[in-house]
Amino acid sequence: MNVARLGTVVRTELAHQMRRPLFVILLLVTFLSVWGLSSGNVTIESGASQVGGQKAWVTSEFAVSQTLLLLMFLLFSFFVSVGAGMGVIADEEARVGPLLHTTPLTPREYVWGKFLAVLSAYGVALGAMVLFLVFFHHVIPAGENAEYRGPLSWLNYARPALFFGLSQLVFIAGAAFALGAGTRRPVLVYFLPVVLMFVCAFFLWSWSPGWLDPRVNRVLQALDPAGMRWLSETWVKVDRGVAFYNAERVGLDALFVLSRLGFIAVGLGGVAWSARHVARGLRGAPVRGAHGKALADIPLATPDGAAREETPLVTLGMRAHPPGALSGLWVVARAELRGLLSQPGLYLFMPIILMQTVANALNKVGPFDTSLLTSPGFFAVNTMGVASTLACLLLMFYTVESLERERASDLAPIHDAAPVRTVSVLLGKALANSLVGVSLLVATGLAGIIAQLVQGQVPLSLSSYVLAWGLLLPTFFAWTCFVLAAHAVAGGRFGAYGVSLAALSLTGYAAVRGHLHWATNWPLWRAVQWSDMGPFELDRTVLVLNRVGVLGLAAFFTALAVRWDGRRAADSVSLLERIRPGGLLRGAWRLTPWAVVPAVALVAAAVQVGQGWQGDAAKKRAKEYWQKNLATWLDAPQPAIQDVDLEVELDPEGRAFRTRGTYTLVNRRDKALKSFALTGGDHWEDVRWTVDGKDVTPEDRSRLYVFKPEAPLAPGSVVRVGFEFHGEFPKGVTKSGGKVAEFILPSGVVLTSFGPSFAPVVGFRDDIGVDKEENRYEPRVYPDDFYVGPTEAAYGTGTPFTTRIRVTGPAEYTLNSVGVLESDEVKDGRRVSVWRSDAPVSMFNIVAGRWAVQRGEGTAVFHHPAHVYNVEAMRRGLDASRRYYSEWFHPYPWKELKLSEFPGLDTYAQGFATNITFSESIGFLARSTPESNAVLLITAHEAAHQWWGNMLIPGKGPGGSVLSEGMSHYSAMKLMEQLDGPRTRMEIAKRLEERYARERHVDAEQSLVKLDDSRDGDNTVLYDKGGWAFSMLEELMGRPAMHAGIQAFLQKYVGHEDHPVLQDFTTAMRPFAPDAAAYDVFVQQWFHEVHVPQYRLSNAQVKQEGGQWVATVTVENVGDGRMPVEVAAVKGERFAKRPDAKAPDVQSPDYREARSRVVLGAGEKADVTVRSDFPPERWVVDPDVRVLQLRREQAVVTL
């Protein structure tokens, strides 16, 4: 290899690469992306979210590694693949190959020179990205983002670029180069980054269930070309604290180093193979005969000397006339379609999509990490984002190469001179290539069907797929037409790629930042919500406008492509005339008619967004409510509700309601109230008020209605406030789709008293008008003894009240509310249901739908007739909850416990007294397995809220919500073990433990007595750690003592004006603890402090001594908690495999164990030895899953 000739190739190709529009656009998009991400949007999820709390720096090595590898993989990979993979192909199309025969340049010099040039060019781009990061992180003034910036350390940027960036660059460039040189098919070159993005983003980076074998996890880390999985699993998954991430280096292990070297070797090996392949091609390939015969043996089509019969051409009946637009389009589309079907890209890519999507569908999880059933509609909508992204990338590649095919095959002169109209050529290519998007949807649909067949519960329905994915067809067509226009305007392949990738990248950035709405969200990313009970009801009008606008854009881009298409070469005079201001204006004027439809449709969509309940006007009114009333009414004393009497008329088809009612309010304060306030809804119209039967006009402070009685409301006095109003709810459309918690729709109704959706709320609501980015404020800081004496309720007005709610709606609907059904009548097509509370309640709701019902022992499940999969399991859970929670905690005071399903426009469940509401997507589509009964977990948790949240209303302040959510988790785990045995509880406990380890923020985590659910990471502490802590407390105290303490606690506080928090609970439980000293230590560690153990095993050995085996192991607590924990040497699997989720747990007869117990503090270790009459196979810490710990998978070692 001659260095001089190699250098010449490198210099020539490097100059060519860096002059390409593709390279310039990459630098521009990188600059804009780094600019947008420099404000702290990409950083380690650690640190404190409160004002002044220590933040994770975007300048740390960990944060820079994340930013760099994401930009490299999701952005650079496409540009690098095009630049590297098209090098040899472009030279072949330019007929450079024959020149290699006439020069001393060897194939190795040619191949390595081009590869090194590509590597150098994009190495420069990598260096530019690093400089952009440094510039925006350390040169541009930080302003409000100063807390996310640390001091400059060049190693924080150089090490990630070297360890993550360079290996990716070499691998992708080398692999793309090999694909291009080996296949000479551009589409297969583009196949590489699309497949890598699909496999990594939607599998390797996102799929990591807790039950995954650590060895398999390590293999998957090694197979990730980006290194994201290794970084997450090794350093980020379990939060190590902001001080660690801000100061420490990313430590490399042998697996990572070998993996990076392996990917570099693959890239360089691909280039070496390409050199050999090009060399063989230049020497010429032997010509093979046909059917085993030599060419000389094949007879001529017309033997020598044979006379040819001559026929006049006129007999052929040929005619020459230009084809019409439609006939020409059909001819082009057929030809393009044949070419498309002959290419291997589709046949390679679609099976990968199929397999990956099946795996994702079968492993999809919902709330509490529970498995989900694959329902056609939900599956179709949930995959729309992935499908549209992948389809747009493939359509871009196929369309550009389709436009370049004639030039590459030297048919351009003939093609351009053909009488087929340009619009027919372009639209024919666009329609044919749109088949790529359709094929992708077909493969994804097959994956959904396979997942359904494997699960064997949800019936097949092709109509759901057609309805949901039909919305994507305008996106595919419009994007293809945009690529046509980009190619025409840019004038070539690489300019088209650059413009198209830039447009897609900027759209993705806008989506991540939340800037897309119905007028701009052309790919429908995260915009559409599905419900089996009634699809696309919420935003149907604006959805139609969006699709019409996108189709209009397709027509506009087609017109633009036709005008700028290069089939007719313009002379210099015409070109100058076209680019003059007058020519540009005339061209723009000719395109104006094509812009009318998209402009009108998308402007109309924007107007609807602006007028909707999430629009700027509504946001401004909500902020005015907050600004006017925060200082005056935040903690102002208010009367309590004594009785609620409501009449609510529902019009689901019109999304409307009318409310008339009366609140009986009582002053339970020590002082007279000169005024009080009720919060109304922004959607209310024609509001009328009365006080004690007299019409009044309260002061309207931006929908906070302030009442000032003629005489102050004395302590114990009662006032009756009447009201009447009507409205549409929600009013208008959403901003960009997404989840909606309460609504009135034809498919169902769900309304709650938490907000002023259908009834007033007593007092000021401090969450209305609060924007996280603009005016979010820190929660109140409570003194340590705030709970001493009477404590206000966390929600509601303090004490339970009685209700009578009369609901009117269409006859085919069932209308549910709290209490017992007093009457139910149907007249003139309208149903009137009257619900009266048979025991006081603290909240109320209305939920309506066209349901079937299954009843149990004082329970009922109202469900969509098609959603029968889990109804029996829910009914079983409700029956068991009533029975066992009443035995364990407190008698159930109401006559009936019912559960009602509502459309899955949001994923939540709420446990109102007697009337639990479940989204169809949280429980009705949960999938139970023999190892994990997801349906029972969700049902038992929400049923527990009848006790923890309704009978017992927790206090307002830190430690209050733990008594609601943590105790409900504890109750659910108890009930699961009661019904299904220990394995079910153990598996669910592991899932909750994994979620806690994954989502907690070490630096921001507060003790349970300080927890107020206001910070990032609080939710998992509230639910998961809270439930675990109460379970461990029962293990310490014993079941009888725990039950006795809880019963006494509830007996004291149910219906009491003093609402308890966690400190009240631990005080009340202490007299029942058998060992008060051990109880105090436990309460201090788990409730008043933040400690979590983490166990690690080492030096595991086993040897036989006579007829026994002696097993030893070293146990170390690398965490900071101190708990007694069992350590077992075991053989075999503990539980026999269950045929289904209903079968009871049975211990396997082959299972054997020998146990010991250790107590280890932070950093302590102990040697454990056990003797057994069986050969142990592994050591397990905490085999019964009774101690909360981090990284449980590290507490198992095989002997």
Q: Which residues, 6+ apart, have CB-to-CB distance to 722 below 8 Å?
A: 660, 661, 662, 689, 690, 691, 693
Instruction: Please give the average per-residue pLDDT across 701-722, as a whole number.
Output: 95
More confident residue, 622 or 497: 622
DSSP string, 404-451: HHHHHTT-HHHHHHSSS-HHHHHHHHHHHHTHHHHHHHHHHHHHHHHH
- pLDDT for residue 239 is more than 60: yes
* Least confident interval from 120-124, 579-583, 739-743: 579-583
**Which of 37-46, 325-334, 1039-1048 holds the top average pLDDT?**
1039-1048
Instruction: Please give the average per-residue pLDDT across 1106-1117, as a whole number.
Output: 93
Query: Do 265 and 338 belong together in one domain?
Result: no
Map 248-272 to HEC letters.
CCCCCCHHHHHHHHHHHHHHHHHHH
Q: Look at residue 773 and tell me if it is in a domain.
A: no
Query: Could you give the CA distance from residue 1135 to residue 1147 in angstroms, rounded to a whole number?
Result: 4
pLDDT at 827: 93
Query: What does the CA dihedral 944, 949, 955, 958 come to, rounded to 10 degrees?
Result: 60
The CA-based angle 811-812-817, given to 5 degrees, is: 80
Count of other CB atoms within 10 angstroms of residue 420:
19
Question: In the structure encoding, which two tokens stand for residue 803, read together?
Answer: 């209700």
- pLDDT for residue 51 is more than 60: no
**Amino acid in the structure at residue 259:** S
Q: Terminus-to-terminus CA distance in the chain, angstroms?
A: 54
Query: Do 46 and 117 belong together in one domain?
Result: yes
Instruction: Please give the average per-residue pLDDT across 31-35, as a whole number.
Output: 84
Q: Look at residue 118 and tell me if it is in a domain.
A: yes
> Would you place residue 236 in the very low, low, confident or very high pLDDT band (cuts 50, 70, 90)?
confident
Instruction: Please give the average per-residue pLDDT across 465-490, as a whole number.
Output: 91
pLDDT at 288: 47
Strand 1123-1131 versus strand 1152-1160 pairing type: antiparallel
pLDDT at 90: 82
Query: Do 1099 and 1072 belong together in one domain?
Result: no
Query: Could you give the CA distance from residue 729 to residue 754 in angstroms, rounded to a whole number?
Result: 15
Query: Do 1105 and 1083 belong together in one domain?
Result: no
CATH number at residue 1005: 1.10.390.10
Strand-pair partners of 676: 707
Compute φ and ψ for 1162, nearest 5 degrees: -60, 125
More confident residue, 578 or 719: 719
Q: How far is CA 38 from CA 33, 35, 59, in A?
A: 9, 5, 9
Q: Which residues, 6+ apart, have CB-to-CB distance to 410 below 8 Å?
A: none
Count of other CB atoms within 10 angstroms of residue 1032:
18
Edge-to-edge strands, sheet with 704-707 = 699-700, 704-707, 676-679, 761-762
Instruction: Please give the average per-residue pLDDT across 98-115, as a whole number.
Output: 82
Query: Do 1170 and 1113 belong together in one domain?
Result: yes
Give the SS3 label for residue 135.
Answer: helix
pLDDT at 762: 95
More confident residue, 726 or 310: 726
Query: Do 195 and 338 belong together in one domain?
Result: no
pLDDT at 580: 67
Which residue, 1036, 1068, 1090, sits at the end of a domain? Answer: 1090
Query: Could you give the CA distance from residue 721 to residue 684 in angstroms, rounded to a whole number?
Result: 17
The CA-based angle 398-402-405, given to 5 degrees, is: 135
Q: Look at residue 43 and tell me if it is in a domain.
A: yes
Inter-residue contact 359 to 455 (CB < 8 Å): no
Its domain, for residue 373, covers 325-611
Inter-residue contact 495 to 22 (CB < 8 Å): yes
Query: Do 1029 and 1105 belong together in one domain?
Result: no
pLDDT at 583: 62
Rounded to the nearest angstrom, the gap between the alpha carbon of residue 402 and the centroid of all alpha carbons in its chain is 35
Query: Could you give the CA distance from residue 282 to residue 260 in angstroms, rounded to a whole number?
Result: 33
Q: Crossing angle for the helix pair 61-71 and 21-37, nearest 10 degrees?
A: 140
pLDDT at 47: 45
Strand-pair partners of 1078: none
Query: Do 523 and 584 belong together in one domain?
Result: yes
pLDDT at 1141: 59
Which residue, 1090, 1106, 1130, sits at the end of a domain? Answer: 1090
Instruction: Please give the average per-residue pLDDT across 127-154, as a whole number.
Output: 85
Question: In the structure encoding, which two tokens stand for residue 486, read together?
Answer: 């980009």
pTM to 2 decimal places: 0.85
Query: Do 132 and 66 belong together in one domain?
Result: yes
Please give the share of the chain, as a percent, with pLDDT higher than 90: 54
> Would you place residue 1168 in the very low, low, confident or very high pLDDT band (cuts 50, 70, 90)?
very high
Edge-to-edge strands, sheet with 1123-1131 = 1152-1160, 1123-1131, 1178-1181, 1196-1198
> Would you place residue 204 in the very low, low, confident or very high pLDDT band (cuts 50, 70, 90)?
confident
Compute φ and ψ for 854, nearest 5 degrees: -125, 125
**Which of 47-61, 188-202, 791-805, 1127-1141 holds the top average pLDDT?**
791-805
- pLDDT for residue 97 is more than 70: no
Instruction: Please give the average per-residue pLDDT across 1111-1138, as a whole number.
Output: 91
Compute φ and ψ for 821, nearest 5 degrees: -80, 110
* Least confident interval from 41-45, 113-117, 678-682, 911-915: 41-45
Give the SS3 label for residue 774.
Answer: coil
CATH number at residue 1193: 2.60.40
Query: Do 449 and 480 belong together in one domain?
Result: yes
- pLDDT for residue 1072 is more than 50: yes
DSSP string, 813-850: SEEEESSEEEEEEEETTEEEEEEE-SS-BS--EEEEE-
pLDDT at 295: 46
Question: In the structure encoding, which two tokens stand for residue 444, read together?
Answer: 């994804």
Which tens digits make up the pLDDT trace of 824-847?
A: 999 999 999 999 999 999 999 999
Compute φ and ψ for 802, nearest 5 degrees: -95, 155
Query: For residue 452, which of 461, 440, 441 has the smallest C-alpha distance?
Result: 461
Give the SS3 label for residue 319.
Answer: coil
Q: Look at residue 902 and tell me if it is in a domain.
A: no
> Would you place residue 201 in the very low, low, confident or very high pLDDT band (cuts 50, 70, 90)?
confident
Beta strand ranges found along 553-681 (DSSP E): 640-651, 656-666, 676-679
Map 648-702 to HEC letters.
EEEECCCCEEEEEEEEEEECCCCCCECCEEEECCCCEEEEEEEECCEEECCEECC
pLDDT at 290: 43
Q: Which residues, 6+ apart, have CB-to-CB distance to 818 below 8 Å?
A: 803, 805, 835, 837, 841, 843, 844, 845, 912, 913, 914, 915
* Least confident interval from 60-64, 387-391, 677-681: 387-391
Instruction: Calculate the average pLDDT of the chain.
Output: 87
Which residue, 611, 645, 674, sits at the end of a domain? Answer: 611
Query: Could you give the CA distance from residue 259 to residue 223 in angstroms, rounded to a whole number?
Result: 7
Q: Look at residue 923 and tell me if it is in a domain.
A: no
pLDDT at 1004: 81
pLDDT at 400: 86
Please give the share of the chain, as a percent, with pLDDT higher than 70: 91
- pLDDT for residue 180 is more than 70: yes
Given phi > 0 = left and psi -120 to 50 = alpha, else beta, which region is 788? beta
Q: Look at residue 559 and tell me if it is in a domain.
A: yes
Query: Do 998 and 1062 belong together in one domain?
Result: yes
> Would you place residue 57 in the very low, low, confident or very high pLDDT band (cuts 50, 70, 90)?
confident
Query: Do 379 and 257 belong together in one domain?
Result: no
Which tens digits make up the pLDDT trace of 247-294?
A: 889 999 999 999 999 999 999 999 999 988 888 876 554 444 444 555
Q: Look at residue 686 and tell me if it is in a domain.
A: no
Which tens digits make up the pLDDT trace of 514-527?
A: 889 999 999 999 89
Cα torsion angle, 216, 222, 223, 224, sign: positive
**Amino acid in the structure at residue 278:** V
pLDDT at 314: 66
Tracing tokens 């004393």 back to the chain, one arrives at 637
Count of other CB atoms within 10 angstroms of residue 221:
22
Q: Look at residue 297 and tell me if it is in a domain.
A: no
- pLDDT for residue 1174 is more than 60: yes
Which tens digits make up the pLDDT trace of 668-685?
A: 988 999 999 999 999 999
pLDDT at 52: 43
Per the structure, the count of domains in the chain is 4
- pLDDT for residue 397 is more than 90: no
Q: Which residues, 6+ apart, have CB-to-CB distance to 1017 below 8 Å?
A: 49, 239, 999, 1000, 1001, 1004, 1005
Instruction: Please give the average per-residue pLDDT across 761-769, as a whole number.
Output: 92
pLDDT at 100: 67
Strand 802-810 versus strand 640-651 pairing type: parallel
* Least confident interval from 296-305, 306-315, 662-671: 296-305
- pLDDT for residue 1015 is more than 50: yes
